[in-house]
Amino acid sequence: MTFNLFVLPFILGFIFLLFSLVKKNREWIHKMDSTDRKKLNNGLRSPRLFLALREIFFESLLHRKMFRRNPLLGYMHMSFAFGWLLLILFGNMESRIYSGFWINPPYYPIFLKFFIHDKHVLPFEIFTVPGFFRFSMDLLLVFVLSGLVLAIIKRSRSKWFGLKKTTQLQFTDKVAMTCLWLIFPLRLLAESFTAGAYGYGGGFVTQHLGNVLAFVWPLSDKAVAYSFWWMYSLSLGIFFVTLPYSRYMHIPTELILILYRNFRIYPKKGSEYFSEIEVLSCPRCGVCIDVCQMNTAAGIHDIQAVYFLQSIRNQQVMEHITTRCLVCGRCQEICPVGIHADFQRIVQRESFQKLQVQDYSYLIQESTRKAEVVYFAGCMSHLTPTIPGAMKKILDIAGVDYLFLDEERSVCCGRPLMLAGKSSQAQKLVEQNKRKILDSGANTLVTSCPICFRVFREEYQLDIRILHHTQYLLELIKKGKVPLQAYFRKIAYHDPCDLGRGSGIFNEPRELLRKIADLVAIGNEGKDSLCCGGSLGLLNAGTEEKNRITKETLANYLEGDPEILVTACPLCKKTFAKLSPVEVMDIAELVMEAIPK
Amino acid sequence: MKSFGYTISEDRQIDFDANDRNMTGFINSIEPSIRLCLGCGSCTATCSAGHFTDLNIRRIHTLVQRGELQHLKKEIMKCMLCGKCQLVCPRGVNLRNLILLIHSALEKSGL
Amino acid sequence: MSKTAIIIGGGAAGMETASQLARLGIEVDLIEKQSRLGGHLNSWDRLFPNRRDSKEVSEYLELGMNDGISLHMNTEIDDIRMAGERFTLALRDGNELYSDALVIATGYEVFDARKKEEYGYGIYDNVITSVELEEFFRNNKQKNLFEGIQSKRVGIVHCVGSRDEKAGNLYCSKLCCVTGVKQAIEIKELMPDAEIFCFYMDLRMFDRHFEEMYYEAQEKWGIQFIRGRLSEASENPDHTLLVKLEDTLTGLPLKMKIDLLILLVGFVPSPETQRLAAMLGLKEGDDRFLCAADEHTSTNSTAIPGVFLAGTVKGPAGIANTITDARSTALQVAAYLK
């Protein structure tokens, strides 16, 4: 007889969960546009499907990225995810041995030890097939329980896990988490009590634990064991039912996210469904809290990516949660699931800006002269005249035929508007600049400002080469057009957020600098670099808060005791210069100094 | 109809008490740095849009403080939100947020 | 053994404190890191408000340097130790000095105008600071400062490095406004057909005769005052400057060609002041200048018994006030040493 009333909570919960997931997925596919749907269809029939499965195995199960950051955290998550999956797999295989059927009701392997009491297998018998499975199931259960112990400790002593702050949980999260935490201890107890009551049928842990329980608690008999099977089933059932409303929704959603990502489906304007997938994929692990400088430097604790995504999920997005963010990309970088928190932040900003129009009809068409290279210094460079000044001199020395497009007055590149959630309003500015650039007939666009650089590359749809000045200067130097002589000792290089994490340009500035200086090694380099605090993405913060962020970042560089702090962005330069005890220079200035007179 | 030779001309004083300064209060409470303005005009001087048009952010700020809201909407629509004004301000006034808040306040009051 | 005092810093404050203490019969050691006494006073030409020759004040201060004062020139301090009521100063050259009271008179420095990059100091040719202008007047060595300047338009920029969150200094340096007006008059004296403009946010003419100097500048000398703070200066091909500001009183942006731009740089606490403060544990204000024991009633002593302050270590101050302050410090020190 392979049915009992107690399996009902499990079955009902399981069916409910299955239905919810199918419904949600159908909704998402329905909301896709034709490009994304095509990508999905193509992807499912291509080798990328295996790449996706591979990523699922390494990230969702083994948590490889997290292991690299923090082995203890990685082990904890892995033991739950991988351990539980193995329990299910091995459990299914074990149940085939006893039922003789390839297809069993889904609850059968889960509650196998209630239905089957095999007295012919001993607890430590590994080399027979049933013995191997008996042993493995117990081993896997211990594996999962070890992770559970760590998870419980992490809730109260997160510092031991390298997390200074861990996520504050909501009510549904607490219910789901409690049930999740109860599942495996209850399974252990149910199996043990049963093994103890029968005197056989358990594994090397469950049998011996069962024997102890039977000895210590003489009343124990099959009725007590039965109550534990009920509790086990209930905890599973309630967990399944609350899962879609809790953080654990990330388990199924993450798989979809990885799949879509491997099929080259990315968040883009208008793909609301993708935003929803990303929001639900957030496991609320909290690693984004500690890397956020609004938290560590400015003491603002309610806007980090995890809380932001949570507010979207609860449909309670408050404007200040969208505006008080540096949009620096640090949370996006560290997210083990790969959620594009920055992108979602701007999407939410757009929703607050819908009705507010701009009027740029005062921009008139202007003619541009022809040149091979267009140099666009960017608005901020007017306030750091050394940068365009140095660029002009270097370009002259290299004999480049260039047009300094915004020498007299600049039309903003448009990215600050986009960061404020007004990207449709920015189009007029984009058109104005684009027309001037194309009219010049140039084949290369060089800019000093990473903010402009990023928007030129991502939004302007220009067919010409687009380079940041660090890249262009390196090119000129390699071609021998710029003679270098002087050499500087001990400089530290700051990766601007929009150039480094935002555009992936880490190596060229460093290669350029190594030709003229000794780079000092610092913590938080490259992808981990800190934000200067001058962010145009931060719409709403006090001067004191921004200064604290600047100071925190400066302290990081000063540890290496550099003589000069070198950066590649006029806004970073101005922001650091305010508080830096060492000199702050742009790369272009440094190159200028290195040229023999 | 024959004109009698006189017209009613608008009193161009700022009637401080007659002005509705609710929006001022709203904006000031959300962005306290706005109260720090000393009227130096660096912001207006450096303004990107100021090269093409007569957008005057210092004046906009002062008019908001006085409760003179009539032409604000047309004016702030010209702002490119580039942030140069904020970067030169010696008092650290968060000017970009001022523009966004004025937009928001005008929208809320149905203007 | 009679009690002694050590004064660190041989500028106007240090010199006057020393001479007053010597007059009261107290043995004084005066430590100065440069090779001459006088500090910043040596850089000034004529002092406001009456535009008298600063050398007269220097001579007065020199007169007070008598035998009761042991001068230690070119001397720097490595460490200060306090034991009970005695101070031991370890000097850079290896010697040690002892005293029962310490006066910190290490003064100030001027704001490094290169930090206000948008004004072009150190980048463009024709941008100088008020200090450099003062030195020109005093030494006349840079005769070519005004040579070759065509239309002779001079611009004076107020509040450079002061009242500026972006420069890291929120405070007002007090004396720059009156310096600017004074220098405007002096330039006009030198070049009567020049046009002089002062670009200001406020005009802080707070002391006696200052406001009258402003009146004279406008009425007699034709100095023009434009209320607006420069946002940036750029260089024309002929090395003249183009300044941009808002003329706030008309409410319109203004741009203007300028031949020579003078930046009125403000006060910042000197690194030496901050170093000594850290050594002794003296309290600094948010503006990084040192704090006296009480802002109204004890402006010359500190929370540490035996450690006194004189002059601009406490914040921007003019020569007249510094000398008065130094005398007050001397009195406090004398009373303490009794």
Residues of chain C contacting A584 with CB distance shorter than 8 Å = none
The pLDDT value given to residue A316: 86
Instruction: Please give the average per-residue pLDDT across A169-192, as a whole number.
Output: 89
Better pLDDT: C52 or A64: C52
Instruction: Please give the average per-residue pLDDT across A258-275, as a whole number.
Output: 86
Instruction: Please give the average per-residue pLDDT across A277-305, as a whole number.
Output: 91
The pLDDT value given to residue B4: 64
The pLDDT value given to residue C144: 61
Do A142 and A284 share a domain, yes or no?
A: no
Residues of chain B contacting A534 with CB distance shorter than 8 Å = 87
Q: In DSSP terms, which residues pair with C245 in a beta bridge?
A: C254
Do A10 and A159 share a domain, yes or no?
A: yes
Do C122 and C260 share a domain, yes or no?
A: yes
Residue A263 placed within a domain: no
The pLDDT value given to residue C121: 95
Residues B26-81: pLDDT tens digits? 888 888 888 899 999 999 999 999 989 989 999 999 988 888 887 788 889 999 99
DSSP C88-123: EEEETTS-EEEESEEEE---EEE--GGGSGGGTTTT
Chain A interface, mutation test: which of C111, C112, C115, most A Cβ atoms within 10 Å?
C115
A131 pLDDT higher than 90: no
Percent of chain A with pLDDT over 70: 98
A279 pLDDT higher than 70: yes
The pLDDT value given to residue A219: 64
Helix (H) or strand (E) holding A29: helix A8-31
- Please provide residue A25's backbone torsions phi and psi, each rounded to the nearest 5 degrees: -65, -40
DSSP A168-192: PP-HHHHHHHHHHHHHHHHHHHHHH
Q: Does the beta-carbon distance from B45 to C165 stay under 8 Å?
A: no
In A, residues 556-575, which contact B (CB 8 Å cutoff)? 571, 574
Do A424 and A505 share a domain, yes or no?
A: no
Number of structural domains chain A divides into: 4
Q: Are C244 and C231 in contact (CB under 8 A)?
A: yes
Residues A319-362: pLDDT tens digits? 889 999 999 999 999 888 889 999 999 999 988 876 678 889 88
Distance in Å, alpha carbon of C115 to nearest chain A alpha carbon: 7
Do A465 and A580 share a domain, yes or no?
A: no
Residues C121-171: pLDDT tens digits? 999 989 999 999 999 888 875 556 666 555 589 999 999 999 999 999 999
The pLDDT value given to residue C291: 96
Q: In DSSP terms, which residues pair with C235 in a beta bridge?
A: C241
* Rounded Cα–Cα distance for residues A148 and A152 (Å): 6
Question: Other C-beta atoms within 10 Å of B71: how many?
Answer: 10
Chain A adjacent subunits, 3+ CB pairs under 8 A: B, C
Instruction: Please give the average per-residue pLDDT across C233-242, as a whole number.
Output: 91
Do A404 and A427 share a domain, yes or no?
A: yes
Do C168 and C293 share a domain, yes or no?
A: no
Do A561 and A432 share a domain, yes or no?
A: no
β pairing state of C252-258 and C241-247: antiparallel
**Residue B90: closest CA among chain C residues belongs to which residue?**
C164
Say which of A357, A429, A574 has its CB closest to residue B80.
Answer: A429
Do C76 and C171 share a domain, yes or no?
A: no
Instruction: Please give the average per-residue pLDDT across A17-38, as a whole number.
Output: 90
Asked if the C-beta of C232 comes within 8 angstroms of chain B's C-beta atoms, the answer is: yes
pLDDT band at A480 (very low <50, low <70, confident <90, very high): very high
Q: Which of C54, C40, C45, C168 is nearest to C115 (CA)?
A: C168
Better pLDDT: A46 or C140: A46
A377 pLDDT higher than 80: yes
**Residue A365: closest CA among chain B residues belongs to which residue?**
B52
Do A89 and A195 share a domain, yes or no?
A: yes
Residue A54 placed within a domain: no
Angle at A434 between CA A418 and CA A386, to 5 degrees: 80
Do C119 and C262 share a domain, yes or no?
A: yes
Do C133 and C251 share a domain, yes or no?
A: yes
Instruction: Please give the average per-residue pLDDT across A543-568, as a whole number.
Output: 94
The range of the structural domain enclosing residue C194 comes to 113-267
A13 pLDDT higher than 90: yes
B3 pLDDT higher than 60: no
Last residue of a domain, one of A294, A322, A352: A352
Residue A44 placed within a domain: no
Question: Other C-beta atoms within 10 Å of B35: how many?
Answer: 11
Residues of chain C contacting B56 with CB distance shorter than 8 Å = 246, 251-253
Q: Does the beta-carbon distance from B42 to C245 stay under 8 Å?
A: yes
Domain at A385, CATH number: 3.40.50.1860
Helix (H) or strand (E) holding C159: strand C153-160
C39 pLDDT higher than 70: yes
Do A333 and A235 share a domain, yes or no?
A: no
**Helix locations, chain C, DSSP H:** 12-23, 54-63, 130-139, 176-190, 210-219, 271-280, 319-337
Do A223 and A311 share a domain, yes or no?
A: no
| Residue A296 CB contacts under 8 Å (≥ 6 apart), including other chains | A290, A552
Chain B interface, mutation test: which of A325, A326, A358, A376, most B Cβ atoms within 10 Å?
A358
Asked if the C-beta of A416 comes within 8 angstroms of chain B's C-beta atoms, the answer is: yes
Residues of chain A contacting C123 with CB distance shorter than 8 Å = 385-386, 389
A220 pLDDT higher than 80: no
Residues B77-95: pLDDT tens digits? 999 999 999 999 999 999 9
Distance in Å, alpha carbon of C119 to nearest chain B alpha carbon: 11
Do C70 and C189 share a domain, yes or no?
A: no
Domain at C279, CATH number: 3.50.50.60
Predicted ipTM?
A: 0.88
Q: Which of C79, C73, C64 is nearest to C17 (CA)?
A: C64
A287 pLDDT higher than 90: no
* Rounded Cα–Cα distance for residues C291 and C304 (Å): 11
Number of structural domains chain C divides into: 2
Instruction: Please give the average per-residue pLDDT across A459-476, as a whole number.
Output: 95
Using the CB atoms, write b or e for A507-537: b if 16+ within 10 Å: ebbbebbeebbebbebeebeeebbbbbbbbb
**What average pLDDT does the structure give for chain A?**
89
Distance in Å, alpha carbon of B6 to nearest chain A alpha carbon: 37
pLDDT band at B6 (very low <50, low <70, confident <90, very high): low
Do C117 and C241 share a domain, yes or no?
A: yes
Q: Are B55 and C261 in contact (CB under 8 A)?
A: no
The pLDDT value given to residue A116: 81
The pLDDT value given to residue A458: 92
The count of CB pairs under 8 A between chains B and C is: 70
Residue C293, CB half-sphere, CA atoms under 13 Å: how many?
Answer: 14
DSSP A67-132: HHH-HHHHHHHHHHHHHHHHHHHHHHHHHHHHH--S---THHHHTHHHH---TTS-TT--SSHHHH
Do C117 and C251 share a domain, yes or no?
A: yes
The pLDDT value given to residue A546: 94
Do A464 and A491 share a domain, yes or no?
A: no
Do A439 and A500 share a domain, yes or no?
A: no
Do C133 and C197 share a domain, yes or no?
A: yes
Instruction: Please give the average per-residue pLDDT across A314-320, as a whole number.
Output: 86
Residues of chain C contacting A551 with CB distance shorter than 8 Å = none
Residue A115 placed within a domain: yes
Instruction: Please give the average per-residue pLDDT across C196-222, as a whole number.
Output: 94
β pairing state of C46-47 and C52-53: antiparallel
Helix (H) or strand (E) holding A403: strand A402-404
- Please provide residue B29's backbone torsions phi and psi, each rounded to the nearest 5 degrees: -75, -35
Chain C interface, mutation test: which of B42, B62, B82, most C Cβ atoms within 10 Å?
B42
Residue A520 placed within a domain: yes
| Residue C335 CB contacts under 8 Å (≥ 6 apart), including other chains | none
Q: Are C306 and C85 in contact (CB under 8 A)?
A: yes
**What average pLDDT does the structure give for chain C?**
92
Say which of B39, B54, B89 has its CB closest to residue C248.
Answer: B39
Instruction: Please give the average per-residue pLDDT across C319-336, as a whole number.
Output: 96
Do A111 and A221 share a domain, yes or no?
A: yes
Last residue of a domain, one of C232, C247, C267: C267
Instruction: Please give the average per-residue pLDDT across A185-192, as a whole number.
Output: 90
* Rounded Cα–Cα distance for residues A167 and A192 (Å): 34
The range of the structural domain enclosing residue A129 comes to 5-31+62-245
Do C76 and C139 share a domain, yes or no?
A: no
* Rounded Cα–Cα distance for residues A33 and A344 (Å): 18
* Rounded Cα–Cα distance for residues A387 and C69 (Å): 52
The pLDDT value given to residue A261: 87
Q: Are C252 and A403 in contact (CB under 8 A)?
A: no
**Residue B54: closest CA among chain A residues belongs to which residue?**
A362
Q: Does the beta-carbon distance from B50 to C253 stay under 8 Å?
A: yes
Distance in Å, alpha carbon of B80 to nearest chain A alpha carbon: 7
C196 pLDDT higher than 80: yes
Annotate A49-62 with three-state secondary structure: HHHHHHHHHHHHHC
Q: Which of C161, C111, C131 is nearest to C42 (CA)?
A: C131
Do C125 and C214 share a domain, yes or no?
A: yes
Distance in Å, alpha carbon of C120 to nearest chain B alpha carbon: 14
Do C182 and C69 share a domain, yes or no?
A: no
Residue A16 placed within a domain: yes
